[in-house]
Structure 1
Amino acid sequence: MPFSFRWSKSLGRGVRVSAGRRGVSVSKRLGRATVSSTGRVTVRLFKGLSWRGKLW
């Protein structure tokens, strides 16, 4: 069984630093959307349902 590693730390005001197998990324919360330095965007449509996509 392979091991996995994921670490996340909140820096306050909607900013989060995450580290895992693929590297380190920073994400920023903008209202209902979260934008990551890796180009991912997540939009919360309503409680329990969200849309996830790539910006680039």
Structure 2
Amino acid sequence: MARNSLFPSGLNYRKRKKFGKNSWINVSGSGVSGSTKVGPVTFNSRGGMWVKLPGGFTFRGRWR
């Protein structure tokens, strides 16, 4: 079984609920987090960051 997960490797669960214009509550097999979008950048409460780039590309990194 994968570390910090309720599901075996290869099987994932994810659910998003939108709150407001640019905020979401995310539920996954490893827990609950919040995320917010500011322009082309999305931050989540676990330190994840996604930047939407031209041409359909996305950069994923850490903000903390």
Instruction: Pick the TM interval, shorter chain.
Output: 0.7 to 0.9
Determine which structure has the larger helix proportion and give its number: 2
Q: How many residues align?
A: 55
- Taking structure 2 as the reference length, the TM-score comes to 0.76
**Which structure features the higher share of strand residues?**
1
**Residue 5 of structure 1: how far off its partner (Å):** 2.0
In the alignment, which residue of structure 2 is the partner of 1:33? 41
Structure 2: runs of 5+ lacking an equivalent: 1-7
- TM-score for the superposition, normalised by structure 1: 0.85
* Higher-Rg member (1/2): 2
Give aligned-pair identity as a percent.
31
RMSD: 1.3
Moved over 3 A (4+): none
5+ unaligned residues in a row in structure 1: which ranges?
Answer: none
